[in-house]
Amino acid sequence: MKIKVVKDILGANEQIAERNRQLLDSKGVLAVNLMSSPGAGKTSLILETIKRLKGKTRLGIIEGDVSSSLDAEVIGKEGVPVVQINTGGGCHLDANMTHSALGNMPLQDIELLLIENVGNLICPAEFALGEHKKVLISSIPEGDDKPFKYPSMFHKADVVLINKIDLLPYLKFDTDAFSQAIRGINERAEIFQISCATGQGIEKWVSWLLTQMSRRQS
Amino acid sequence: MKIKVVKDILGANEQIAERNRQLLDSKGVLAVNLMSSPGAGKTSLILETIKRLKGKTRLGIIEGDVSSSLDAEVIGKEGVPVVQINTGGGCHLDANMTHSALGNMPLQDIELLLIENVGNLICPAEFALGEHKKVLISSIPEGDDKPFKYPSMFHKADVVLINKIDLLPYLKFDTDAFSQAIRGINERAEIFQISCATGQGIEKWVSWLLTQMSRRQS
């Protein structure tokens, strides 16, 4: 891990994020920042989204990982543009990394950019990338107490996807209590229950995405 | 989130961690740093460990969380000394926070200190607390690709506990491939398969703890 003297890094990040947003707007691209704990289903959600939107919507994907390009390789097989960011130990994407990735993305050819952040329920919440919407995936096996323990991420989400609902029969998880806990922190977030394993609920998520895109174009 | 000018923070952290370790050694306390993704089972493991060692081994617990004292309240009911650390947004415990917590822990009355780190598979790996052993809990629903994506945490672990093996029938997870992936990064780590839900494998973990304690006392 490299140590840097860091001063008002969030302020600087916001400025770069704003420039990213202007670039995306000028190209008519809706950008969504997907955040979650490790293994909650970000890559699976991207694959399910591609499956449903391919041929209808021009997608691009940015893959953020501490290390490896495993997910980018899997997604690359779907025939959509993918840019990998490796943070090299860093625990979140930032606007500068995103700016570099945007330079390698054919923005004129896409309408919807899904950005998979690093698997982490804390730091990614604090760093804007230039996205239009923040989406949090929280999965059943993580437990229904997560909004209390990681409030900032739940507070900032425009959408909370409750993933892996196919595992509900095998785990203690109170979906009503979980939704109430989210509401205590965030009144505006849309909440969808989904399973990337069975496909349940994915249509609602995709409809939400399409609605956001049409709102921006109108 | 507060912004600080940070300079060589890891070096300073190491010095404080070393002082914590000396304090723990002078009191004959074995300290174990429990790390994992959010919801992988740190608190459940602590509860299972207390259940098996209560009356035999004098335990103390430090609970690290971004926010809330939910886990400390649950553990406090077991009648063992618990100190809560709230990081207030910080994504990992550090040696200084641990030092403060040790000041509130009756060290002369305990032999084994379990420190539950913040749920995060990245940053806690970089910050020594003064612990004698680092234990990583990785759970089946997170997927078997995690060693490739979060190599530092897997590299530094003395023990990797594969938790939630009761969910193996319902998920795609190759335990052999997972163990091989760990071995590619870390040849020395002990690997145990456990389920905090069913109790499977917990005895081996507890035996490992008792062996570490007897080695230190001999």
Give contacts of A14 with chain B, Cβ < 8 Å: none
Q: Let me know if residue A4 belongs to a domain.
A: no
Helix then strand count (H, E) for chain A reads 8, 7
Bridge partner list, B59: B112
Torsion of CA B43, B48, B53, B55, to 10 degrees: 90
Verify whether the Cβ–Cβ distance A91 to B120 is below 8 Å.
yes
Q: Let me know if residue A101 belongs to a domain.
A: yes
Size of interface A-B (CB pairs under 8 A): 125
Q: Return the structure tokens found at A124.
A: 């990614």
Q: Let me know if residue A200 belongs to a domain.
A: yes
Pick the range with the lowest mean pLDDT from A6-15, A38-47, A74-83: A6-15
Q: Does B91 touch chain A (CB under 8 A)?
A: yes
0.85 surpassed by complex ipTM: yes
Domain count, chain B: 1
pLDDT greater than 70 at residue B161: yes
Check if the beta carbon of residue B31 is closer than 8 Å to that of residue B129: yes
Search chain B and give the residue with CA nearest A164.
B141
Check residue B10 and give its pLDDT: 85
Residue B218 — pLDDT band, cuts 50, 70, 90? low
Check residue A8 and give its pLDDT: 75
Q: Does A177 touch chain B (CB under 8 A)?
A: no
- DSSP letter at A24 equals H
Search chain A and give the residue with CA nearest B173.
A39
pLDDT greater than 50 at residue B2: no
Tell me the per-residue pLDDT of B98-133, one tens digit each, with 9 for 90 and over.
999 999 999 999 999 999 999 999 999 999 999 999
Phi and psi torsions of A28, nearest 5°: 70, 30
Search chain A and give the residue with CA nearest B86.
A149
Check residue B217 and give its pLDDT: 73
Q: Let me know if residue A3 belongs to a domain.
A: no
Which domain, by its residues, includes B13? 9-217
Which A-chain residues 181-210 have CB contacts (< 8 A) with chain B? none
pLDDT greater than 50 at residue B1: no
Q: Let me know if residue A75 belongs to a domain.
A: yes
- CA–CA separation, A166 and B185 (whole Å): 33
Interface test with A, best of B8, B122, B152 (most A CBs within 10 A): B122
Residue A5 — pLDDT band, cuts 50, 70, 90? very low
Check residue A181 and give its pLDDT: 98
Q: Does A170 touch chain B (CB under 8 A)?
A: yes
Summary mean pLDDT of chain A = 95
pLDDT greater than 50 at residue B146: yes
CA distances from B141 to A92, B106, B123, B192 (A): 22, 37, 21, 16
Q: Return the structure tokens found at A47.
A: 């694959």
Q: Let me know if residue A117 belongs to a domain.
A: yes
Search chain B and give the residue with CA nearest A120.
B120
What's the average model confidence in pLDDT over B162-179?
A: 98
Give contacts of A185 with chain B, Cβ < 8 Å: none
Give contacts of B37 with chain A, Cβ < 8 Å: 37-39, 119, 142
CA distances from B95 to A40, A187, B42, B99, B126 (A): 29, 37, 19, 6, 11
Check residue A99 and give its pLDDT: 98
Q: Let me know if residue B3 belongs to a domain.
A: no
Q: What CATH number should be reported for the domain holding residue A145?
A: 3.40.50.300
DSSP sequence for chain B: ------SSHHHHHHHHHHHHHHHHHHTT-EEEEEEESTTSSHHHHHHHHHHHHTTTS-EEEEEEESS--HHHHHHHTTTS-EEEEE-TT-SS--HHHHHHHHHTS-GGG-SEEEEE--S-SSGGGG---S-SEEEEEEEGGG-TTHHHHSHHHHHH-SEEEEE-GGGGGGS---HHHHHHHHHHH-SS-EEEE--TTT-TTHHHHHHHHHHHHHHHH-
Global pTM value = 0.94
Q: Let me know if residue B2 belongs to a domain.
A: no
Q: Does B21 touch chain A (CB under 8 A)?
A: no
Summary mean pLDDT of chain B = 95
